Amino acid sequence: MERVLITGAAGFLGSHLCDRFIAEGFKVEAMDNLITGSLKNIAHLQGHPHFNFRRNDVTEFIEIPGEIDHVLHFASPASPIDYLKIPIQTLKVGSLGVHNCLGLAKHKGARITIASTSEVYGDPEVHPQHEEYFGHVNAIGPRGVYDEAKRFQESITMAYHRYHGLETRIVRIFNTYGPRMRLNDGRALPAFIGQALRGEDLTVFGDGSQTRSFCYVDDLIEGIFRLHFSEETRPVNIGNPDEITIGDFAEEIIALTGTKQKVVYQELPENDPKHRRPDITRANEILGWEPSVGRAEGLKRTYAYFRTLTPEELHKSEHKDFTAFKKN
Task: Name every residue whose Cβ is closer than 8 Å to that of residue 287 and which is 6 or more positions away in sequence.
Answer: 223, 226, 227, 230, 232, 236
Give the pairing type, strands 176-177 and 51-55.
unpaired
CB 148 within 8 A of CB 45: no
Of 161, 118, 154, the residue nearest 278 (C-alpha): 118
Question: Does the annotation mark 303 as catalytic?
Answer: no
Close Cβ partners of 265 (under 8 Å, ≥ 6 residues apart): 203, 204, 205, 206, 207, 208
Active-site choice (146, 160, 177, 216): 146
Q: Which is nearest to 224 in space by CA: 212, 236, 214, 216?
A: 236
Q: Reduced to 3 states, what is the DSSP secondary structure of residue 273? A: coil
Sequence-separated (6 or more) residues with CB below 8 Å from residue 153: 73, 94, 95, 98, 114, 116
The bridge status of strand 211-213 relative to strand 243-245 is antiparallel
So which residues are the catalytic ones?
Answer: 146
